[in-house]
């Protein structure tokens, strides 16, 4: 549908089995791109290795589509590691055309009232979600500007980046920040034909939702057991009731929008923060 042949993409936070990053990486590869998989650990959710091998499994999926891939483990909140990651990508592929800043801090100690929040919990969310987006954008934009062939940058915000939510203060602040950063960077990079847009999903059925419920639910739900628990179906059904299109998002829904924004079909869009939430919020 979108011709990404000959393009090289970096997707951060792409090692989770049920994550948005893995879905985006696979979708970009399906459209023809070579895809670099990055995450803080090979298997950040420490699954049973006999069932899910983490980033190496995503690399294999991409290679099975006939595309090239590379896994680089990187903490996106560390400038040296990010710069080194981009250097490794340039050494291997010679250029970067698409950057997807998908990595997000794991929900946990930040999901409390502001008056109870530890400074470290606040910092962790800003460091990964906002500073990590800045560092990856900085490193890749420098290369894209020097190379002079344009590019596509896609930042993951959230509908929680459009309105505040109780128990989400650190997360909302970071995702509002991603939107402001996206607009500023879009203006700076427009003369270089580099498009910068943000995606704002509502709830998406990933591992992350288990961690959110573990941190915020009054019920005894463990993140690890969530995917196979009865709570998951109940949660999905409950969410669907408030979504005009009648279902909670799956990672593939987000990946399809990312593929569009990574393609030449979106050449005249920049600085946008696009909701993808089944019609739940319309501004």
Helices (H), the chain: 20-30, 55-64, 79-93, 119-125, 132-147, 169-189, 207-216, 223-226, 230-241, 251-262
- 44 is a site residue for ligand NAD (CB under 6 A): yes
Out of 13, 177, 210, 278, point to the residue binding ligand NAD (CB under 6 A). Answer: 13
Please report, as residue ranges, which positions from 191 to 230 form the binding site for ligand NAD (by CB under 6 A).
Answer: 201, 203-204, 206-209
Whose tokens are 């499994």? That residue is 57
Q: Which stretch binds ligand NAD (CB under 6 A): 9-17, 144-152, 184-192, 234-242?
A: 9-17
Among 8, 11, 20, 136, binds ligand NAD (CB under 6 A): 20
DSSP string spanning 86-142? HHHHHHHHS---EEEE---PPSSTTSS-GGG--HHHHHHHIIIIIIHHHHHHHHHHH
Active site residue 171: yes
Q: Does 19 bind ligand NAD (CB under 6 A)?
A: yes
Q: Which is nearer to ligand NAD, 19 or 151 (CB)?
A: 19
Lay out the site mask for ligand NAD across 233-272 (x = CB under 6 A, - = otherwise). Answer: ----------------------------------------
Q: Which of 2, 16, 186, 223 binds ligand NAD (CB under 6 A)?
A: 16
Residue 254 is classified by DSSP as: H
Query: Residue 148 or 155: which CB sits closer to ligand NAD?
Result: 155
Contact between 167 and ligand NAD by CB under 6 A: the answer reads: no
277 near ligand NAD, rule: CB under 6 A: no
Contact call for residue 177 and ligand NAD (CB under 6 A): no
Q: Which two tokens stand for residue 189?
A: 């990079």
CA distances in angstroms from 175 to 52, 142, 195, 201, 206, listed in the order given: 29, 23, 19, 11, 18
Torsion (CA) 134, 135, 140, 141 in degrees, nearest 10: 40
For residue 105, state whether it binds ligand NAD (rule: CB under 6 A).
yes
At closest approach, how far in Å is the CB of 3 from ligand NAD? 26
CA 239 centroid distance within chain: 21
CA distance 245 to 233: 17
Selected from 35, 125, 128, 154, the binder of ligand NAD by CB under 6 A is: 128
Q: What phi, psi does 167 have (nearest 5°)?
A: 75, 5
Provide, rounded to whole angstroms, the least separation between the CB of residue 149 and ligand NAD: 26
The answer for residues whose C-beta is within 8 angstroms of residue 89's C-beta and 6 or more apart is: 8, 10, 36, 70, 72, 96
Q: Which of 2, 45, 168, 171 is catalytic?
A: 171
Quick check: helix, strand or coil at residue 196?
strand
Contact positions toward ligand NAD, by CB under 6 A? 12-13, 15-16, 19-21, 39-40, 44, 74-77, 102-106, 128, 132, 156, 158, 201, 203-204, 206-209
What positions carry a catalytic annotation?
Answer: 171
């Amino acid at each position: 549908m979108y011709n990404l042949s000959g393009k090289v993409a970096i997707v951060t936070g792409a090692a989770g089995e049920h994550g948005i990053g893995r879905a985006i990486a696979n979708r970009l590869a399906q459209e023809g791109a070579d895809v670099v998989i990055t995450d803080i650990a090979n298997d950040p959710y420490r699954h049973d290795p006999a069932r899910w091998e983490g980033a190496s499994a995503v690399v294999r999926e991409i290679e099975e589509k006939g595309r090239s891939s590379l896994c680089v483990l990187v903490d996106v909140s560390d400038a040296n590691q990010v710069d080194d990651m981009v250097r490794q990508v340039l050494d291997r592929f010679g250029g970067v055309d698409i950057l997807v800043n998908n990595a997000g801090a794991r929900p946990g100690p930040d999901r409390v009232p502001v008056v109870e929040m530890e400074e470290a919990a606040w910092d962790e969310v800003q460091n990964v979600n906002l500073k990590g987006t800045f560092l990856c954008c900085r490193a890749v934009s420098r290369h894209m500007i020097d190379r002079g062939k344009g590019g596509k940058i896609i930042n993951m915000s959230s509908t929680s980046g459009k309105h505040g939510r109780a128990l989400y203060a650190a997360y909302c602040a970071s995702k509002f920040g991603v939107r402001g950063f996206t607009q500023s960077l879009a203006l700076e990079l427009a003369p270089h034909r580099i498009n910068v847009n943000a995606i704002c999903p509502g709830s998406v059925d990933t591992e992350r939702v288990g961690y959110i419920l573990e941190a915020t639910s009054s019920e005894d739900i463990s993140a690890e057991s969530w995917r196979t628990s009865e709570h998951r179906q109940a949660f999905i059904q409950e969410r669907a009731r408030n979504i005009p299109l009648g279902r909670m998002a799956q990672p593939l829904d987000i990946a399809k929008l990312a593929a569009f924004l990574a393609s030449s079909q979106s050449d005249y869009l920049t600085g946008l923060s696009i909701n993808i939430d089944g019609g739940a919020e319309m501004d």
